[in-house]
Structure 1
Amino acid sequence: MNNGFWTVVGFTAKNKLRGKAFLVTTLIIAVIISIVINLPYLISQFSGEGKPTAVGYLDSSSEKAKSELFTSTRIADMLNTYYGKQEKPELKLVPIADAGSAEANEKALKQAVADDVIHGYIEFSPGKESDFPAITYKSESLMESKVSDSLTAALQVVKMEAVIGGGGLSDEVKALLTKPIELDTVQISTVEGAGSIGSGKTKEQQGIDFLTVYVIIIMLFMAIMISGQMIASEITAEKSSRVMEILITSVSPLKAMFGKIFGMFLIVLLQLALYIAVIVINMTLPQNIDKLGDLGISLSEIDPVLVTYALVFFFTGYFLFATLFAAVGSIVSRTEDLGQAVLPITMLSLAGFYICIFGGMNSPGSMLMKVCSFIPFVSPYAMVTRLGLSDPPLWQVWLSIATLLASILVAGWLSAKIYRAGVLMYGKKPSMKELFKAMRAYK
C-alpha cells in the first residue's frame, strides 16, 4: 500500500465492483428506472386505455320528435361527433334503449355497467327550454377524473356549437368563432452575460430543459445518497473490523480518506453512466419517442451549456457531501449506529432536493431560489434549476460556484482533521469535547 492515494482509489473501486450486493442493487435500480419510464405505456396495454371508454346514455324515442335545442339524444349525437373527430377518441357514447319508466331505465343502465357494456352512464336533468340540461355521470369507480374532465370539456364545445348553430350565423363566422387561439411562449434574456440563455428559448426548448433539470436533480440526489452511504459504511466497517489500524500504518489518514472519496466517485460515475444509458434507451423506444414528439420535445435539443454547468454543480455538490459523510463515518465504531449519525447530512440533501422539486420547478426566479443558490448544501440543486428554467446573471452563477469550492476546501480540511482523529477512536461515539481534543492533539 506504499503507492498511497491511487492504491486506495483502486482498492476501493475494485472492492465495490466485486461485491454482489452492489451489482444486484445497480441492476435492480436500472430495471426500476425502465419500468417507471414505460409505466404509462404498460398501464395502457393492460388496462385497455388505448380504446375509448364506453359511456352510456338513455336513448329515448320520445325525445327524437322534440324540437328543443338541448335534448339528451341530440347532445349525445353531438358528443359522438366531437369524439369521432379525435385521432384517438377518449370516450364513446353508447345508447341504451328506453325501458318505459324511470325505475326500469335506471335498472337497465346499471345492468349495462354490470355486464361491462359501458363503464358508466350520464343522466340529463332538463331545465328550461333554452337552458343546457344538468348532467350527472355515474359509475362504480371513485374519482373518475379522466372521464369527467373529458366530458366537461366536450360538453362545453357541444354547447357552444349548438348555440352558434342555432343563431343563423354563416359558416365563415362559425369557423372564426370556433378557431382555437394559438399562444406561443418564448423565454427572453434581459441580462447581459446570462448564465445559460442569452437569446431566449422557445416553448419546445423550455420543455426539454425542464426534463433535463428534473433528471439532473434526481441523479444528483441519488449520487449523494448512494455514494455518501457507501463511503460512510465502508469506513465504519473497516474501523469496526480493525482493518483501519493496518490501513493507517501503510497510508496517511488524509490519503486514505480522499482516496476512498475519489474511488467511490468513480463507482458513482459508472453507475450514473449506466442509468443515463438506460434512460436514453428507454426514452428512444417508439412508444416514448412518440409521446415526446407530441409534446414538441426532442432529445437532440438538449442545451449543452446547461449540461456543462450541471456537471460542474454535480461534481462540486458530490465532493462537498462526500467529505462530510467520510468524516461522520470515521467517528462511528458500529455500523448499526451509522444511520443515526448521517441523518443530519441526509436531511441537508433532502432539503435541497425538496425545495427544488416542489418549489423551484414552478418558481425558479423566486427569492427563495435566489437565496438557496448561495447556500452550499442547497446550491447544487437550486442553481441547476435556475439555469435550466430561468436566466440568472453570470456573476451569480460563478459566485455560487466559488462559494461551493470554498465550502469544499473548508469541509475537506475539517473532515480530514475529524477523520485523522476519529478513525482510531473506538467504543462509543466520541463527544464533541473529546473529538475536538483529539483533533488538536493530532499534528
Structure 2
Amino acid sequence: MSKFLATFSQTYLSKVRAKSFMISTLIIVLLIFVGANFDKIIGIFDSSEELTTLKVESDAAFLTQFEAVMDALETDIDVTESDGETGSAEALLTVEGTEPLSFTLAANQEIPADQMNTIETALAEVQRNITIEALNLSPEEAQQLSAPPEITYDIASSADDFAESESDSMAPEMFETNILNTIIFYVTVIVMFFIIINYASQIGTEVAMEKTSRVIEMIVSSVPPVTHLLAKISAMILVSLTQLGLFIIAIVIAIQLFDFSSIISDFGLESDDQTLTMIIYSVIYLILGLVLYLSISALLGSFISRMEDLQQALLPVTMFSLIGFYIAIFNVFGSADNMLVKISSYIPLFTPFVMPLRAINPDTSQITLLIGILILIASIILAIMLAASIYRNSVLSTSNGIFKNLKRIRKE
C-alpha cells in the first residue's frame, strides 16, 4: 500500500503543481466569473440609458388606454401626461394621427432595445383596440380576429394509411425540452469531452514516456508494475476530478456573490421536476465517463514502446469520444429518445455522453439510467484489468509498433 501511495502522491502533486494545470484552471474560473457578470459587461458597452418615464402627448382616452396596456406588460416605465419638457431618462410619445394611427417617439438618448420592443408592443395593442372600437365589433367578433382557423382533414383512404398510422405510432413522442435542463446537459457533455481529450493524452504520455526512457526498469525493481499503473491511473483521475471540483466551487461562489435574477428572467431559466434528477445523473455520468476513458487511455498507452506511436494508440479515444459527443449534441432539439440514442446509450464508450440526454426525457425510467451506470462500472473494471494485464506483460518490451506488441502479448 505504501508503494501505491508513494507513486500516487508523486504523480498527483506533480500534475496539480504544473503551470499548465494552474493556467488552464485559472482561465476557466475567470470565464465562469465573466459569464456570471455577462449582463453587467454588456451594460458597460451599451451606451443607451434605460427610460424611467414616458410622457404622452394625446387625448385623455388614448392616454388611459395606453397606460393600462403598459401596466399589463409589467414594465418599469412610468406613463404620464406630457408637460412639454423631456429630461434625462425620459421620452416623449406624440400621437400624430388617428386614421390610421401614427406616432412619434422622441428622446434625448438612445433607448434600449428591450424597452423599444415593449413600447412598440403596447402601441400595436392600443391600435388593435382602437380599430375594434371603430368597427363596433362585439367581444366575440374581436376574439375571432386572432383566433386560429379550424381545419378538418378529410383525406381519401388509401392502402398506405395503415402503414402510415403504424409508423406514426412507432415514432418517438416529442416532448418540450426545459431550457435549464438542456443547459445542464450541454455543460456536462462539453466539460466531459474536453477533460477526456486533455487528460487522456496526459495519462498516455505518462505511461509511454516511462517505457521509452527506460525509467520503468528502475521503477519495477521496487514497485510491482500493476501497482505502479493503478497508482498512475488513480492519480490522473483525481487530478481531473480536482480540476472539475474547482470549477464547481467557482460556479457556487459566483451564484452566491452575483445576482442571476435578470439573466434567469431574460432566458426563461426555470427548473422543473426533472432538473434535480438531471443534475444528479449528469454528475454521476461525468465522473464515470472520465474514469472509463482515462482507464482506456492507460490501456492503450501500455501497448506502445515509442513516443511516435502515442497519437496512433490514442486515436480510438479521440474518435469514440467525438462520435459520442456528436450523437448527444445533435439529438437535443430533435427526438432525444430516438432509436440511435437508445442503442448508443447502451454502448459503454457512448453511454456517458448519451445517457444524460435520455435523462432529459421525463419518460425515461430510473431503471434505464441505473443500467447505464452499471454498464460503465463494469466497463471500467474490465478496462483496468486489461490495462494491468497488458502493462505487466509489456512493461519491459522494446518491440517497435503497436501491432508487434499485440502479437507478442497474445503469444504470452
- What is the aligned counterpart of 1:435 among 400, 405, 409? 405
Query: Which residue does the alignment assign to 2:135?
Result: 167
Distance 1:415 1:300, change over 3 A: same
Give CA deviations for 1:363-392 in whole Å, capped at 9, x if unaligned.
Answer: 222222211211111111211121134331
Cα separation, 1, equivalents of 2:245 and 2:176: 26
- Alignment map for 1:363-402 (pairs within 5 Å): 363-402=335-374
2:200 counterpart (228, 252, 257): 228
Matched, 1:90 2:113: yes
- The 2-side partners of 1:285 and 1:436 are apart by 55
Q: CA deviation at 1:303?
A: 4.4
Residue pair 1:238, 1:244 contacting (<8 A) in 2 also: yes
User: Is 1:242 aligned with 2:265?
Assistant: no
* Structure 1 residue 26 corresponds to structure 2 residue 49: no
Residue in structure 2 matched with residue 407 of structure 1 by the alignment = 379
The equivalences for 1:279-290 within 5 A come to 279-284=251-256, 286=258, 288-290=260-262
Q: What's the counterpart of residue 318 of structure 1?
A: 290
Aligned equivalent of 1:218, options 179, 190, 199: 190
Structure 1 residues 164 and 33: CA distance shift in structure 2, 3 A: same
Return the match for 2:237 from 265, 273, 283: 265
Q: Any idea what SS the aligned residue of 2:402 has?
A: coil
| Comparing 389-398 and 164-173, the one that deviates more | 164-173
1:318 is displaced (CA, Å) by: 1.9
Matching of residues 7-406 of structure 1 within 5 Å: 7-39=6-38, 41-48=40-47, 90=113, 160-161=128-129, 163-169=131-137, 206-284=178-256, 286=258, 288-295=260-267, 297=269, 303-335=275-307, 337-360=309-332, 362-406=334-378
**CA distance in structure 2 between the partners assigned to 1:345 and 1:279 by the alignment:** 29
Q: Partners in 1 of 2:132 and 2:106 — Cα distance?
A: 19
Instruction: Give the partner amino acid of 2:41.
Output: L
Return the alpha-carbon distance in structure 2 between the equivalents of residues 255 and 79 of structure 1: 82
Q: How many residues of Structure 1 are paired with residues of Structure 2 in the alignment?
A: 340
Contact conserved, 1:78 with 1:158, CA < 8 A, in 2? no
Distance in 1, matches of 2:260 and 2:212, equals 48
Q: Per-residue CA shift, 1:202-247, capped at 9, x if unaligned?
A: x999443333222222232233223212211222232333222222
| Matched position secondary structure for 1:4 | helix
Mapped contact 1:224–1:322 kept (Cα < 8 A): yes
Residues 364 and 390, structure 1, Cα contact 8 Å, conserved in 2: no
Retained in 2: the 8 A contact 1:220–1:318?
A: yes
Which secondary structure does the structure 2 equivalent of 1:249 belong to? Answer: coil
Q: Distance in 2 between matches of 1:78 and 1:246?
A: 90
For residues 104 and 145 of structure 2, the distance between their equivalents in structure 1, rounded to whole angstroms, comes to: 19
Return the alpha-carbon distance in structure 1 between the equivalents of residues 103 and 322 of structure 2: 49
The answer as to whether partners of 1:420 and 1:439 remain within 8 angstroms in 2 is no
Q: Secondary structure at the match of 1:251?
A: coil
In structure 2, what is the Cα distance between the partners aligned to 1:81 and 1:6?
76
Q: Return closer, same or farther for 1:275/1:41 CA change in 2, 3 Å cut-off.
A: same
Tell me the distance in 2 between the aligned counterparts of 1:79 and 1:209.
44
TM-aligned CA distance change 1:418 to 1:163, over 3 Å = farther
The one-letter amino acid paired with 2:136 is G
C-alpha separation in 2, matches of 1:153 and 1:427: 75
Q: TM-score, normalised by structure 1?
A: 0.63
C-alpha deviations, 1:318-349, integer Å up to 9, x for none? Answer: 22211111122233445455334322211211
Instruction: Identify if the C-alpha distance between structure 1 residues 413 and 367 changes in structure 2 by more than 3 Å, giving closer, same or farther.
Output: same
What's the offset of the Cα at 1:80?
Answer: 6.2
CA 1:381/1:176 → structure 2, altered by over 3 Å: closer, same or farther? same
Contact 1:421-1:439 within 8 A present in 2 as well: yes
Q: Tell me which moved more, 327-336 or 396-405.
A: 327-336
Aligned partners of 1:91, 1:366: CA distance in 2, in Å?
38
Deviation at 1:251, TM superposition (A): 1.9
**Aligned equivalent of 2:80:** none
